[in-house]
Amino acid sequence: MPVITFIEFDGTEHQVDADAGISIMETALKHNIPGIDADCGGSAVCGTCHCFVQAGGPLPAVDPQEESMLGLRPDRAEDSRLGCQVVISDEMGDLTVKLPEFQM
Ligand code: FES
């Protein structure tokens, strides 16, 4: 079972056990992690689950819809992802998920 360390913009850390088969966004909401809004509920159309993801193993590829939403983020970085589009698997290993200063 992968462990996710969520790191808020102010450096506050939250470590949670993640369930394979659900997304980073769903995991954050389940554990009341602040900083993920998820206004669209996971349809990749709001961008308010933006986060910076580092994993021990491979992540799913960014599809064109995710790419287009990430392109709207002025704070996009190389490890930017939509948390709703990264479904956790055991192969990913443990994850570090940094949260942006704000969602928009
Ligand atoms: S929850 Fe809306 S894009 Fe991820």
- Model confidence at 1: pLDDT above 90: no
- Model confidence at 17: pLDDT above 90: yes
Please indicate, yes or no, if residue 65 is contained in any of the structural domains: yes
Is the CB of 47 within 6 Å of ligand 1? Answer: yes
Please indicate, yes or no, if residue 103 is contained in any of the structural domains: no
Three-state SS at 82:
strand
* Contacts for 68 with CB less than 8 Å, ≥ 6 apart: none
Per-residue model confidence as pLDDT tens digits over 37-89: 999 999 999 999 999 999 999 999 999 999 999 999 999 999 999 999 999 99
Is the CB of 48 within 6 Å of ligand 1? Answer: yes
Cα 36 to middle of ligand 1, angstroms: 9
User: Distance between alpha carbon 78 and the CA centroid of its chain, in Å?
Assistant: 13
Q: According to the model, what pLDDT value does residue 74 have?
A: 95
d(CA 33, CA 7): 9
> Which structural domain range is residue 78 located in?
3-98
Q: According to the model, what pLDDT value does residue 97 have?
A: 98
Please indicate, yes or no, if residue 21 is contained in any of the structural domains: yes
Cα 12 to middle of ligand 1, angstroms: 23
Domain count, the chain: 1
CATH number at residue 77: 3.10.20.30
pTM: 0.96
Cα 90 to middle of ligand 1, angstroms: 22
Please indicate, yes or no, if residue 104 is contained in any of the structural domains: no
Please indicate, yes or no, if residue 42 is contained in any of the structural domains: yes
Within 9-51, residue ranges assigned H as helices are 24-30
